[in-house]
Amino acid sequence: MLGRTLLMVLLALTFCSTWESCTWRNFITALEGEPFYLKYCPFSSHTNETTTIKWYKSNFPEDIALSSNSSPRIVPRGYVLEFWPVELDDNGNYSVHTGYSKYKWQLKVIGRNKSSCFTEKIVKSKAVEVNKRLEVNCEPGYYKNLAYRTVVYKDCMKIKDSEDSHIKKNANFTDQGYYTCVFSVDHNGKLFNVSKTFNITIIGGHSLISPALHGPNPEYVKVELGQEVRLNCSASLNKGDLIHWDVQDNNTREEQASKIQDKEGKWQASKILIIENINDKNLNVSYNCTVLSTEGIDTKMFILLKKELVDIPGHVFTGGMIAAVLASVAVVCLVIVGVIYRVDLVLFCRHFMRKDETLTDGKTYDAFVSYLKECQPENGEEHTFAVEILPRVLEKHFGYKLCIFERDVLPGRAVVDEVHSLIEKSRRLIIVLSKSYMSNKVRYELESGLHEALVERKIKIILIKFASVSDFTFLPESLKLLKSHRVLKWKADQSLSYNSRFWKNLLYLMPAKEVKACKDESEFLPVLSQS
């Protein structure tokens, strides 16, 4: 009898697909709000078309017969009792009666977890070994003719929304999780969701590895005295293996070991040793870390070395020194060039910035020229210089306005007063020095000028010495105190060009003024007639 039954079941499983959704178990759980069914599959061949099938719900003391008319929600359909959907009230015992047999179930309806896409109490748990086949079967089964859409969630995140909702792959550890298949089912124009959740656990392979510590052995760690160091001992090991430090020092402490499983299912552990307030005793001794397993043992040494505080690599040091020396040389050169070409730089800047300091001081002349007036053969050169060359260069070429006694002072006026007021109206006092300069006639010019310059500080003095004059002891003391750069030496043979140092220096001492030079005059025009 049993053999025949088994044969029947096998035949049925092979040829008749309706058998796959039979409800064999007697204790059944269902999820509130979802379509549900109980299906009886008769074992015997005695079934025939005319057999009457009756469904009952136990309701002590008497069973209630279920019919299509009693409730639109609970529908008997031959050997199947359908719920559209099942509700919490439907808890209880159900039975089916056919002519010659009776089958019984106990149904438990579970409340839905509103905050999740699945309800934990109704998941199917499944363990899959890593790298083995992982299959999540989202076939709608009994509802396959009604289901028109299947969505698959993993840990409530949608991962599939397509016709082919079957998941088949090689398992790795990231695949672990809850897989929920949701089928949308149409019943008399009303939509229902049927869900199925699998709790997939990925388990590691069974082979044990021999544990291994990471990093070089021994590992040297550079430290500073008084500081703290964290030594990280990490290993590949098996889940149950131990990792520990063999240390007794009193300025050390250990952190909790941490163990994680990587994607391939291998376990990695690490344990930190903290050495605080490092002292000499901590240096050059070994701190050992050990991993212990049934498969073996591995030990590693950490050794602390003192860090050299100034640890500049040789080439960096040499490079730095060379750069520093070059920089200083460059700075010194710049300063020297600046000093040598100070005059040129200042003139260039004046020209470039169109500086003009003569506009607002209310003075008429740029310079008052003081020189020896008696024109005697032995000092004719000085005279020519003062009344011809100076005005030619300064006035015609560089646009200054000079005050020259012979030319600008009208005859017949009180000479002393006139000279004094002219000096007051001038910005510079150019003294053309010659041997016989200190004659009576110029003494008052000089005194007046010196007074303006030294007492009133309203005029600046420019002293032009002639090469032929070597002894200036005759000059008043105050004039000897003049800063050396305010004293120019006239060298008739070297000062011919407008570009010569003499004229540049003179321009430098003159007030800044926008030059309106006559361009047609040659740069190298001899300023002194070579007769």
Ligand X SMILES: *[C@@H]1O[C@H](CO)[C@@H](O)[C@H](O)[C@H]1NC(C)=O
Residue list 210-269, contact with ligand X (CB under 6 A): 214, 232, 234, 246
Does position 99 interact with ligand X (CB under 6 A)? The reply is yes
Q: Within 10 A of 117 (CB to CB), how many other CB atoms are there?
A: 16
Judged by CB under 6 A, the stretch of 43-51, 135-143, 376-384, 429-437 that binds ligand X is 43-51
Nearest to 301 by CA among 215, 418, 378: 215
489 strand-pairing partners = 465
CB 500 within 8 A of CB 476: no
Select 281 or 483, whichever has its Cβ closest to ligand X. 281
CB of 159 to ligand X, least distance (A): 12
Residues touching ligand X, count (CB under 6 A)? 25
Determine the Cα–Cα distance for residues 295 and 240; give it in Å rounded to an integer: 11
Interface residue with ligand X among 270, 364, 478, 497 (CB under 6 A) is: 270
What minimum distance in Å lies between the beta carbon of 93 and ligand X?
A: 24
| Given 68, 170, 201, 318, the residue binding ligand X (CB under 6 A) | 201
Convert residues 110-149 into a mask of x (bound to ligand X by CB under 6 A) and - (unbound). ----------x--x-x------------------------
354 backbone φψ class: left, alpha, beta (φ>0; ψ -120 to 50): left
Question: Choosing from 34, 82, 382, 445, which is the catalytic residue?
Answer: 445
Greatest C-alpha distance within the chain: 166
Stretch that binds ligand X, among 46-54, 361-369, 413-421, 440-448 (CB under 6 A): 46-54
Q: Which is nearer to ligand X, 50 or 360 (CB)?
A: 50
Distance, in Å, from the CA atom of 157 to the CA atom of 6, rounded to the nearest integer, reads: 42
Q: What angle do CA 420, 367, 363 make, to 5 degrees?
A: 70
CB of 182 to ligand X, least distance (A): 4
Q: Are 150 and 195 in contact (CB under 8 A)?
A: no
- To the query of whether residue 445 is one of the catalytic residues in this protein, the response is yes
Which CB, 274 or 467, lies closer to ligand X? 274
What is the identity of the amino acid at 474? F
When the beta carbons of 165 and 238 are compared against ligand X, the nearer one is 165
DSSP state string for 397-445: IT---EEEHHHHSPTTS-HHHHHHHHHHTEEEEEEEE-TTTTSHHHHHH
Which residues form the interface with ligand X (CB under 6 A)?
46, 48, 50-51, 99, 120, 123, 125, 151, 182, 184, 191, 193, 199, 201, 214, 232, 234, 246, 270, 272, 286, 288, 299, 301
Active site (catalytic) residues:
445
